[in-house]
Amino acid sequence: MTIIEQIIAKHSGHPTVKPGDIVDVIIDTRAARDFGGANVVKNLLDNGLTIDDPKKTIFTFDCNPGGSDQKYAANQHYCRQYARENGIRVYDVDAGIGTHLAIDNGLVWPGSTFVSTDSHANIMGAISAFGQGMGDQDIAAAWAKGAVWFKVPPSIKINLKGVRPANLTAKDIILNLLSIFGANKLLGYSVEIYGEETEKFSLDERITISSMGTEMGAIIVLFPTPTSLLLELKRITGNDYQPMTADADASYEKTFDIDLSKFVTMVARPGHPHDDTAIDTVRNQKIDSGFIGSCTNGRIEDLRAAAEVLKGRKVAPGVVLKIVPATDVIWTQAMDEGLIQTFKEAGVMVSNAGCAGCAAGQVGQNGPGEVTISTGNRNFEGKQGKGFVYLASPQVVAASAVAGYITTPDQIPDQPALFAPTGHASRVTRQEKVKTIKPTVAEGNVWLLPKDDIDTDMIFHNRYLTITDIKEMGQYTFDNLKGFEDFAKKAKPGDVVLTNKNFGAGSSRQQAVDCFISLGISCILAESFGAIYERNAINAAMPILTYNPEIIQQSEIKHGDSVRVDFASGNLTNLRTGKTFLINKFYDAQMAIYQNGGLL
């Protein structure tokens, strides 16, 4: 078996599993964050559910460590109260990013399982563990049952050949991979990375690469565990672990041999993490701000690399550089090593540990028109603010902050670029659900959205994440998707959404599903769905179906056409032409959850 098949088999009580099998997976550590935690608790209370094992259950307050938003503060306190009553451990606002805490505190280990309301929980692939971001219903089920249903994904193997170029960072490696595979070529796959050079990768480097598997649409990016990594984990946690690697006769759907020696320093252009380019194509782009941190690049090695560039230098006039360590332990280590002093002398703003700008709850956000270079994992429009975000390594961000424009450490000018004058001055209770017999046939008018990779920030923007009343969610549907900002005003109950590949890429937010339920949308048809989004929709009894693009072409369905969709048979009828075509019907587990009115 592959690595993920071994882990799932061990945690489901099966001697072997294969791609497509649906099994209940026992979860070793079950986490909820501050923005999703309140909904997890509400789901438990509303459904009369209790905690399976408090010792395996944790809260992590990493999205808004300062509680600077009143609704965040209310949600955090609500979760603290529930934790006190149920003996649940809270990694509070002084601790840092939950996924990193889980690794560093031995809550996750090679071969273990972990879930969280964090779409980057698959970062656990860095240590060959199963990690998944899930919506609040999934996490509530995990807390109550100790296990979640999961479909075993097919596996892909990537062999990185050749010698790693000098000065090529882990961030450059994942940006190069994103430029090759884009946002959906690895959609739904478990990816294993091998190669002689990869065995030399540090834990911090593996974390950087695995954390952006979500941006490639992958279920997880897994590394096998060489002796060097096991020794590093023992140094951090004090625990001895067994190595994990795939069986010699493991079966992969595809294998890719990629020449690592040809990788170059890269930057992701604003809008999409997979819109990557060699840095020379954007060199000298003026910036307003820089950000170093997030679950992708907030480790001690990242801070050391930034300090090496900043030592003896100053951030360019008018440029703001913000640095946020991933955990408080890393923050303290940086202080002990003198890195914080270096940052302060260079004019950097250093904040308390957490997710920072990536989660819209702490420092790192930018304003309208502001150009930021960031080590974050996402640069979707509106994700880190209203401006434009380039993604790069800590070294490039630090060098660019000193230069005042995008550059590399070896090309920092003696005098920084200056700004020229431009003349411009510039929580509600979720309603109780009543179980009813669910119809398996829908009819409605089609909304045609001919776009790939419509992400959750486009569907339901993160500025609305504190909303818990489903009745309020519908009005914000697609208000961050260009050309469809008026969707919520024009959509009618029963309408059908028809779109392309990877619908629902990005975050684990349940609201991106619930907003359609709020509007009464009857079903969503897509060529493929983001992995977390697919689970969220099924668990919420929101009908979603996939199709072969050739079938849709043959159906001649146009925007506004009336269609009939049979969830049980997969029959799709264009009522304008009277022709019927076959798409993918509900699978058994999906139908069972749908007829139950949802997972809970």
- The confidence score (pLDDT) of residue 544 equals 98
Q: Where in the chain is the domain with CATH 3.20.19.10?
A: 441-595
Residue for token digits 């076959």? 582
Question: What is the fold of 266-411?
Answer: Aconitase; domain 3 (3.30.499)
pLDDT tens digit sequence for 175-200: 999 999 999 999 999 999 999 999 99
- The confidence score (pLDDT) of residue 68 equals 67
- The confidence score (pLDDT) of residue 391 equals 96
The residues near 109 (Cβ < 8 Å, ≥ 6 apart) are 127, 129, 233, 237, 239, 241
Run of H or E including 56 = none
pLDDT tens digit sequence for 21-68: 999 999 999 999 988 899 999 999 999 999 999 999 999 999 888 766
- DSSP codes of every residue in 179-236: HHHTTTTTTT-EEEEE-TTGGG--HHHHHHHHHTTGGGT-SEEE----HHHHHHHHHH
> In the predicted model, what is the mean pLDDT of residues 140-163?
98
Instruction: Please check whether residue 470 is in contact with residue 598, taking contact to mean a CB–CB distance below 8 angstroms.
Output: no
As a whole number, the mean pLDDT across the chain is 94
- The confidence score (pLDDT) of residue 426 equals 47
What are the b/e assignments for 66-96, b being 16+ CB within 10 Å?
A: ebebebbeebbebbbebbeeeebebbbbebb
Structure tokens at 412: 């920092």
pLDDT tens digit sequence for 165-177: 999 999 999 999 9
pLDDT band at 360 (very low <50, low <70, confident <90, very high): low
- The confidence score (pLDDT) of residue 204 equals 97
Residue for token digits 């795939």? 246
Run of H or E including 464 = none
Structure tokens at 492: 């009618």
- The confidence score (pLDDT) of residue 260 equals 98
pLDDT above 90 coverage of the chain, percent: 86
pLDDT tens digit sequence for 295-307: 999 999 999 999 9
Please provide the CATH number assigned to the domain covering 441-595: 3.20.19.10
Indicate if the pLDDT at residue 432 is higher than 50: yes
Q: Where in the chain is the domain with CATH 3.30.499.10?
A: 3-262, 266-411
Angle between helices 300-310 and 394-403 (to 10 degrees): 30
Q: How many CA atoms lie within 13 A of 13 on its CB side?
A: 5
Task: Write the secondary structure of 41-54 as one string of H (helix), E (strand) and C (coil).
Answer: HHHHHHCCCCCCCH
> In the predicted model, what is the mean pLDDT of residues 227-244?
96
Question: What is the fold of 3-262?
Answer: Aconitase; domain 3 (3.30.499)
- 557 three-state secondary structure: coil
Which amino acid type is present at position 112?
S
Q: What is the number of other CB atoms lying within 10 angstroms of the CB of residue 224? A: 17
Indicate if the pLDDT at residue 97 is higher than 70: yes
